[in-house]
C-alpha cells in the first residue's frame, strides 16, 4: 500500500465516528453483507458514513491491507476496526454494539 493511500484511509477513519467501507452506498447497498451492516446501524438510529469500494479499486484493495481483514464490508467505530457483517450482527445481538456506538458518539 502506498503511503498516500494509507494516509487517505487514515483520514477517512479519523474524520468519521462510524465509517463503513462497503459495496454500494447506505441508500443502495450492492451486497447482502453490506446491507446487513446498514440495516443494523439504521436500527440503532446513529449517524454513519460509508465509502463505496466499488467506486475506487485502490481503496477496495487497500482497506483489506489496512485492516488485515480480507472481506468487505468493514466497520470502523471511533477510529477502531470493529469487523464485518457477522461480527456486527453478533455484537448487536449481545447489546455490545449499542454500547460501543454510544460511547463513540459521546466522545
pLDDT tens digits, 63-72: 999 999 999 9
- Please say whether the dihedral angle defined by the alpha carbons of residues 26, 31, 37 and 43, taken in this order, is positive or negative: positive
Q: Are 101 and 107 in contact (CB under 8 A)?
A: no
pLDDT tens digits, 10-52: 999 999 999 999 999 999 999 999 999 999 999 999 999 999 9
Q: Nine-digit cell at 21?
A: 467501507
Domain that holds residue 22: 3-106
Domain containing residue 97: CATH number: 3.40.30.10
Rounded-to-integer distance, Cα 103 and Cα 77, Å: 10
Rounded-to-integer distance, Cα 67 and Cα 76, Å: 10
Q: Are 87 and 71 in contact (CB under 8 A)?
A: no
Rounded average pLDDT over 56-83? 96
Strand residues in the chain grouped as ranges (E): 18-22, 49-52, 74-77, 80-83
Number of domains in the chain: 1
Residue with the three cell numbers 484493495: 61
pLDDT above 90 for 107:
no
Phi/psi for 77 (5° steps) reads -125, 120
Amino acid at each position: 500500500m502506498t503511503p498516500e493511500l494509507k494516509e487517505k484511509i487514515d483520514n477517512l477513519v479519523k474524520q468519521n465516528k462510524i465509517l463503513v467501507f462497503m459495496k454500494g452506498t447506505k441508500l443502495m447497498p450492492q451486497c447482502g453483507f453490506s446491507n446487513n451492516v446498514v440495516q443494523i446501524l439504521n436500527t440503532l438510529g446513529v449517524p454513519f458514513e460509508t465509502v463505496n469500494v466499488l467506486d475506487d479499486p485502490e481503496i477496495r484493495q487497500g482497506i483489506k491491507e489496512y485492516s488485515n481483514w480480507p472481506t468487505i464490508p468493514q466497520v470502523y467505530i471511533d477510529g477502531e476496526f470493529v469487523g464485518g457483517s457477522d461480527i456486527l450482527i453478533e455484537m448487536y445481538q449481545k447489546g455490545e454494539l449499542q454500547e460501543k456506538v454510544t460511547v463513540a458518539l459521546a466522545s
